[in-house]
Amino acid sequence: MQKRKIGNTGLEVSALGLGCMGMNHSYAPFPEKKDMISMIRKAVEKGVTFFDTAEIYGPFINEELVGEALQPLRKEVVIATKFGFAYASEDGIKYKSTGVDSSPGNIKRSVEGSLKRLRTEVIDLYYQHRVDPTVPIEEVAETVKDLIKEGKVNHFGLSEAGVQTIRRAHAVQQVTALQSEYSMWYRKPETEVIPTLQELGIGFVPFSPLGKGFLTGKLSENKTFESSDIRNTIPRFTQESMKANQGLVDLLSMIALKMNATPSQIALAWLLAQKPWIVPIPGTTKLNRLEENIGGAGISLSSEDLININSALDKIKVIGDRYPEALEKATGL
C-alpha cells in the first residue's frame, strides 16, 4: 500500500489505517479476541501500518488487544491511542467513564496505563480524545509536550476539536494530526477545519469514513442492531433517516458500478483524493471487508471524477444528526 505523511512532522503511515474500536466496543456482537489478533496481524501483512485505539474503548481492553496483536510487529507499525477521560469501578474489575478529564495528573496516569497495555515504550501518536472545557488546551498541550520530552510520546493529536482549540494547542506544541468524523455523509470539516489544517501543516485522520457502515450499501432501512450497538442512539440510523438517506447510497452504488468497484471503495477513494495528508481509518472485524477497504486505496479519482461526484453530493441533503444532541455538544466542534 502507498504511504502518506501526516502533517509536517514527517510521521509516515499507510494511506489507510485500521480503526480497532469495533473489535470489542460500540458495535456488538464482538468476535473472539484471537480472531481479531489474527486479523490485525494480517492487516500488517497486507500493508497497513497505522492502527488506532483508545483508553476508553472497553475501557482498556481494546488497547490490550492491539498491544498483544502488534507486539511482535512493533517496529513495523504506528500506534495511535487517546486520553482524556476519568473512570470509576464498583468492583475493581469493570470500569466505566465518569466524564472528560484532561487534567495534567490524569494525562500522566493515562499514558502509563496505555504504555503498559500497548506493550510499548513509546506511543507514536497521542490524541486528546475530547476537548475538556475545564482545562485550558494550552495546559493539555504543555503536558503532552513534557511527555514527548520524556520519550513516552512521539506526536500530539487532537480529536473532534474546533479550529480555535487547534490553533491554541498548536501554538504550544505542534499538533501532528486531527482525528474527526469526515465522509461523504458528514462534510462539515470542509468549511473551516480542513483549511485550518492545511494552513498549519496538520494531518487529518477521518474516523467513520464509511458512515458507521451506512456507506457500504449493506444496511437497509429495516436493519436492526444489537441492543448495545451505538447506532441505536444515533438519529441518522432511525428507520426514517436511513430511508431518506438512501439516495446517497444509490449514488455511491452507481459510481462504483461504473468503476468496477464497491461503494465502500469509492467512499474511501473519495476521501483519499481530497488531500494528500488525509488518512482514513475504517474499522472492521471481517477479513474480507479489510481486503475490500484496502482495495479502495488503489482507486484513483480524476479531477473530473471529483467534480462530478461533488456536484452530485451537493444535491443530496443528509437527514438526521450524527449524534444525540448532548453527545454532539460534548465534541468541542
The set of cell numbers assigned to 218 is 449493506
What whole-number distance in Å separates Cα of residue 72 and Cα of residue 239? 44
Beta bridge partners of 82: 127
**Element at 192 (helix H, strand E):** none
Beta bridge partners of 175: 156
Q: Which of 181, 184, 142, 140 is nearest to 160 (CA)?
A: 181
- The one-letter amino acid code at 272 reads L
DSSP 51-117: EE--TTTTTTHHHHHHHHHHGGGGGG-EEEEEE-EEEEESSSSSEEEEEE---HHHHHHHHHHHHHH
Active site (annotated) includes residue 186: no
* First-residue to last-residue Cα distance in the chain: 32
Beta strand segments in 182-226, E: 203-207
The set of cell numbers assigned to 300 is 484513483
With contact defined as beta carbons under 8 Å apart, do 177 and 12 qualify?
Answer: no
Q: What residue has cell string 492545511?
A: 198
Query: Cβ of 324: how many Cβ atoms within 10 Å?
Result: 12
List all residues 6 or more positions away from 6 whose beta carbon is below 8 Å from its beta carbon: 12, 13, 125, 176, 177, 203, 205, 277, 279
What whole-number distance in Å separates Cα of residue 266 and Cα of residue 37? 28
> Of 27, 57, 126, 127, which residue is the catalytic one?
57
**Among all residues, which ones are annotated catalytic?**
57
